[in-house]
C-alpha cells in the first residue's frame, strides 16, 4: 500500500489517540504539497488539542509536539519557533504571505552625513565626546537636525559609520583618535650650554613630602 498520502488525521481527536499514535511502530509518511500546507496542519493540530490552554499539562504538550514531529519533518528548534509564532500571532504563515517584523529606521542618510562632517572636523573623537557635541548643537544652538544624533547610542555610532553614505565622505575610517601625553619621561637634561638649567622631576616630587 502506498503510504505517501495527503495528511488527514481528523479522526485523531483525543490525547489518548495522540499517545497511541506516538507509540506505534508503524510511521506512515504523509506528504504535504507545500510549506504553506505543512504550516497550516501544524497550526490546526495546536488548535485541535488546545495546546495553549492553561489546563494542558507539560506531559500532554510533550506528546503533542512528539506527534507533530512524527508526521512532519521539523526539528525540535523549528517546531519551537513555530509554536512560539502560533502563540504570539494566532496563526502560522509561510513565505510571501507572512508579514515580517521590521524595526523602524531611527537614523537616516542625513544623520550619516552630519556625523561624517563632525568626524572630519573633530578628527573622529570618541562616541561620548561626539554625543556631547551633538547635544550642544541641538540644545544650545537650536539646530533641530542634530536632535537624533544628540541621543545616539554607541551601537548606532558603529552602524552609521558603516554605511556607504558615511564611508564615501569620511576622511578617516578606522579607530577613534586617542590623545597621548608624555607623562613621567625621565631623560638626561639638554641645557645646550645655557646656565641655570633646572631639572624638575614631576613624577616623584611627592617622595620629599
Tens digits of residue pLDDT in 69-120: 887 777 888 899 999 999 888 888 765 545 554 445 577 888 888 998 998 8
Compute how many other C-beta atoms are within 10 angstroms of the C-beta atom of residue 148.
17
Which of 75, 97, 119 is a domain's end point?
Answer: 97
On whether residue 82 sits in a domain, the answer given is: yes
Measured CA to CA, the distance from residue 103 to residue 86 in angstroms comes to 21
Q: How many CA atoms lie within 13 A of 38 on its CB side?
A: 18
On whether residue 184 sits in a domain, the answer given is: no
**Claim to verify: residue 93 and residue 119 sit in the same structural domain:** no
Task: Give how many domains the chain has, as a whole number.
Answer: 2
For residue range 28-83, what is the model confidence (pLDDT) as tens digits?
Answer: 556 667 778 888 889 999 999 999 998 999 999 999 998 888 877 778 888 999 99
**Claim to verify: residue 84 and residue 21 sit in the same structural domain:** yes
Sign of the dihedral defined by the CA atoms of residues 62, 63, 69, 72, in that order: negative
Measured CA to CA, the distance from residue 42 to residue 145 in angstroms comes to 50
C-alpha cell at 149: 544624533
Residue pointed to by grid coordinates 542618510: 109
**Claim to verify: residue 27 and residue 81 sit in the same structural domain:** yes
Write out the residue range of the structural domain in which residue 60 sits: 15-97
Amino acid at each position: 500500500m502506498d503510504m505517501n498520502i495527503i495528511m488527514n488525521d481528523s479522526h485523531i481527536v483525543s490525547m489518548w489517540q495522540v499517545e497511541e499514535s506516538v507509540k506505534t511502530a508503524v510511521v506512515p509518511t504523509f506528504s504535504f504539497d507545500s510549506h504553506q500546507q505543512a504550516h497550516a496542519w501544524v497550526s490546526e493540530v495546536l488548535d485541535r488539542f488546545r495546546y495553549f490552554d492553561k489546563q494542558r499539562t507539560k506531559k500532554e504538550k510533550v506528546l503533542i509536539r512528539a506527534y507533530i514531529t512524527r508526521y512532519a519533518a521539523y526539528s525540535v528548534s523549528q517546531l519551537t519557533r513555530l509554536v512560539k509564532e502560533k502563540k504570539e500571532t494566532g496563526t502560522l504563515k509561510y513565505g510571501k504571505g507572512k508579514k515580517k517584523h521590521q524595526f523602524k529606521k531611527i537614523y537616516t542618510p542625513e544623520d550619516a552625513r552630519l556625523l561624517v562632517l563632525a568626524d572630519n572636523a573633530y578628527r573622529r573623537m570618541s562616541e561620548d565626546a561626539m554625543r556631547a557635541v551633538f547635544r550642544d548643537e541641538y540644545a544650545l544652538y537650536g539646530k533641530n537636525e542634530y536632535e537624533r544624533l544628540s541621543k545616539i547610542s554607541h551601537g548606532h555610532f558603529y552602524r552609521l559609520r558603516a554605511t556607504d553614505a558615511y564611508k564615501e565622505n569620511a576622511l578617516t575610517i578606522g579607530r577613534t583618535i586617542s590623545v597621548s601625553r608624555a607623562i613621567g619621561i625621565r631623560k638626561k637634561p639638554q641645557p645646550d650650554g645655557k646656565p641655570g638649567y633646572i631639572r624638575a622631576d614631576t613624577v616623584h616630587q611627592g617622595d620629599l613630602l
